[in-house]
Structure 1
Amino acid sequence: MAFICRSAAQLLRPCRTAPFALTATRLCSSGGKYEYIVVEKRGQNNNVGFIQLNRPKALNALCDGLMREVGHALDGFEVDSGVGAIVITGSDRAFAAGADIKEMQNRTFQECYGGNFLAHWNRVSTVKKPVIAAVNGFALGGGCELAMMCDIIYAGEKAQFGQPEILLGTIPGAGGTQRLTRAVGKSLAMEMVLTGDRIGAQEAKQSAFELTLAEGNRLEKRLFHATFATDDRKEGMTAFVEKRKASFQDN
């Protein structure tokens, strides 16, 4: 297992300065090619599962279809005895710039709470094989949460991490308040969540950025659902989609 993880890490080193240029076996979903991701096997003997988020025009915004495809690919790699480790990456500009706000904009509290919105995102953290996030560019909101769900994070010099949900009138809803606190400490996590400020790869490393699961994830998700009952959440997401400054009313 240690050898396979080192092999996966070696695959990632070139991506910090240039795109991947390695022999790979392209995989497809059971119904044909994936729409939002690229799935391959790489490394020696194709023993590293590789998932690349592929919505470049949307900076890899995490729409529902993309996250379901990621879950499907993880399912396949988990039962593949030839795969010992899995890599999730994005593009040079963005790992993932966040959840798809246009998709979330008109959701109601009843829909989110009753349907346990975002519950399937947690699939990444339940995989029984090591999952590595290769981050370059933006890892914001849901993108930062997706990276923190992985077991190991490798970041390029241009990587930026942040939880800017407060600027949309909501809170992190996929583990951000829980994992981030344990990754960078309470003080910096509070600053990032309450201001929406970002940190670069170097500051993240100095803050001992790492992954930890927490029971508080369940409470966080329900509080996130509750924000969909507020006018500020609707105004924040609408303003984002309309590319204007939000006018919040609640305190």
Structure 2
Amino acid sequence: MTAAAQLADLELDSLRLEVAEGLLTVSVHRPEVLNALSPLVIAELREVFSLLRGRIGRSGDGAADDAPDWSIRGVILTGSGERSFVAGADISVMRDQSRDEAAAYAADAQELTAWIETLPVPVVAAVNGFALGGGCELAMACDYILASESASFGQPEVALGLIPGFGGCVRLQQYVGIAAARELILTGRRIDAQEARELGLALRVLPDAAALLDAARESLRASAAQSPTAVAAAKRTVRAAQALPTDRGLEIERQAFADRFGTPDMLEGTAAFVEKRRPSFPGA
């Protein structure tokens, strides 16, 4: 059974899943609380992304002749409705947590964001409305962020006597630089979509939620037309080299580049280029 087929069997209360043309759209669906990131939402997102990371690009049962599963070639992460992507962690739940419960909550959320970040296929955050606190942290775990004009971003945890705990202290500075990250975290200031784009947090700003989803699908379709193993290797290499000195990053890139030679996808891609035809990548 493919990953796409397995997703259809999941029973989820707070998420809506849609698979079309090899693209999975995951929508957080708690409109009554602006899609707040409750423990249930985190648990269900973990269920979805655990399934994906266990299946995408891997054979079904380990048999030598079993083809890798590339039934999902990209993921859009978004929120239901136009008011909110994910408004933040569920404060009504957090208020009564003990220190140990909070540590476990953060550990689950951080592991989830690591699974999103390391998925072999691109994951795009389509941010419509609020992406605050845990919502901003969830979006930053994706490969890039597209935003509607109504989007707003922030890490307002200091106003609650807290700090970001789902990756905000780490990933925000990777997006916007250390000074801007410090200012946003230390003040809790909220920024709109245009400022998010100017700072480098959002890649593009679209007029509304419909245009936002169209742009996310168009971007992922472009990636899905390429070699899936090359896309996975490129994503892995960019992440591995991200915080390294230039010489070490170049070493990692050089090895990853050499590892592509002789693979079925590389042989098909280069042959198709020489023969002036569309490649048909085997995904291996």
TM-score normalised by the chain length of structure 1: 0.67
The partner residue of 2:71 within 66, 77, 82 is: 82
- Structure 1 gaps of 5+ residues are 1-24, 216-251
Q: Of residues 86, 93, 104 in structure 2, which corresponds to 1:103?
A: 93
CA drift of 1:29 comes to 4.2
Tell me, yes or no, if structure 1 residue 118 matches structure 2 residue 109: yes
Q: Partners of 1:167 and 1:192 in 2: how far apart?
A: 12
Partner in structure 2 of residue 240 of structure 1: none
Greater alpha carbon shift after TM alignment, 125-134 vs 110-119:
110-119
**Equivalenced residues, count:** 186
Deviations 1:41-83 (A, max 9, x none): 02xxx21011011000010001111112112222344425211
Tell me which residue corresponds to 1:234. Answer: none
Give the percent of matched residue pairs that are identical in Structure 1 and Structure 2. Answer: 40
Cα distance in 1, alignment partners of residues 177 and 110 from structure 2: 25
CA contact (8 A) 1:163 1:176 kept: yes
Larger radius of gyration: 2
- Separation in 2, partners of 1:117, 1:38: 20
Residue 37 of structure 1 pairs with residue 15 of structure 2: yes
Q: What's 2:161 paired with?
A: 169
Equivalent runs, 1:79-228 vs 2, <5 Å: 79=55, 80-90=69-79, 91-113=81-103, 116=107, 118-122=109-113, 123-209=115-201
Alpha-carbon distance change, 136 to 125 in structure 1, aligned in 2, over 3 angstroms: same
Question: Which shows bigger deviation, 130-139 or 69-78?
Answer: 69-78
Once residues 134 and 114 of structure 1 are traced to their aligned partners in structure 2, the CA distance between those partners, rounded to angstroms, is 27
SS in 2 for 1:118: helix
How far apart are the structure 1 equivalents of 2:98 and 2:133? 20
Counterpart amino acid of residue 189 in structure 1? A
Q: Contact 1:142 / 1:172 at 8 angstroms: preserved in 2?
A: yes
Cα displacement string for residues 111-136 of structure 1 (whole angstroms, at most 9, x for unaligned residues)? 33467463443232232211000001
Aligned CA distance change for structure 1 residues 117 and 69 (closer, same or farther; 3 Å)? closer
TM-score of the two chains, using structure 2 as the length reference: 0.60
How many angstroms apart in 1 are the aligned matches of 2:112 and 2:52?
Answer: 17
CA distance in 2 between counterparts of 1:113 and 1:60 reads 22
| 2:259 match | none
Q: 1:119 to 1:187 in 2, by over 3 A?
A: closer
Offset, 1:177: 1.2
Q: CA RMSD in A?
A: 2.5
8 Å CA contact retained: 2:49, 2:112: no
